Chains A and B, each alone.
Chain A
């Protein structure tokens, strides 16, 4: 079955960097667009970024554009999110998700917590 497992979260100081990973299994990663979505504590869902399946074309929310970089390694069945110049407002649980035939998120990981604090 489809499984997505995020890792790499933790505590980082403002201005710092962190790289999240998402290990995919149970499907052919190269066939799907993939995405990162975040949820600040006690808040709603916020789309962060997605990356196309074969051309690796990225798209970002305005709130992270220029600071975050999404990438993928289909051979390693992995999705990544490089987060630079982190701010307190980036504190959230970060989910990776598979994008289905239309733009719906049909499978999600369990999430990894990123805390940006001095």
Chain B
């Protein structure tokens, strides 16, 4: 099974800071990688799909990149409303493929 790791597990940053989270897969997953934001007590929200595609309506300060085994997620200028936990998620091809979430990165304000 493919394992997903994220780093860091948590970080503190100031408003306006550039924040980068990395996600690493245990084997080549092409670009089958999505990113979600989850605020406390709420359901996750999709931000980025297929490694680098911004979901419609998501602010452009969010971006993703990478392919193969190494991926990154960036907030170009951190805003107070970005305080949340961020998860990467891998998928195998349907209809038999598995889905794996990374362990998450908690972002809070310094």
A108 engages B97 (CB within 8 Å): no
| Residue interface bits B83-110, CB-to-A below 8 A is 1, else 0 | 0000101011011111111111000000
Chain A interface size band reads: 20 to 34
Chain B binding surface SS class = loop
Residues of B within 8 A of A55 (CB): 95
CB <8 Å contact, A59 and B96: yes
Chain B residue at smallest Cβ distance from A4:
B43
Whole-angstrom distance from the CB of A64 to the nearest CB of chain B?
A: 12
- Cβ–Cβ < 8 Å partners of B91 in chain A: 102-104
Of B15-23, B44-52, B66-74, the one touching chain A:
B44-52
How far is it, in angstroms, between the C-alpha of A95 and the C-alpha of B43 when the chains are bound? 8
How many A-B pairs with Cβ below 8 Å? 70
Is the CB–CB distance between B55 and A45 below 8 Å?
Answer: no
Interface centre among A46, A55, A57, A104 (most CB of B within 10 A): A104
Interface residue? A106 (CB, 8 A): yes
In the complex the two chains form, is A50's CB within 8 Å of B43's CB?
A: no
CB of A47 within 8 A of CB of B101, answer yes
B32 lies within 8 A of A47 (CB)? no
A91 to chain B, nearest CB (A): 17
Contact residues in A for B45 (Cβ distance below 8 Å): 108
- Residues in A whose Cβ lies below 8 Å from that of B102: 44
Contact code string B1-43 (vs A, CB < 8 Å = 1, else 0): 0000000000000000000000000000000101010100011
Instruction: Given contact pairs A35-B99, A44-B101, A95-B44, enumerate 8 new A-B contacts (beta carbons under 8 Å).
Output: A33-B95, A45-B87, A47-B101, A59-B96, A100-B49, A102-B49, A104-B34, A105-B89
Which 10 residue pairs spanning A and B have beta carbons closest together?
A: A103-B91, A108-B43, A47-B99, A104-B49, A45-B101, A104-B34, A44-B104, A57-B95, A52-B95, A44-B103
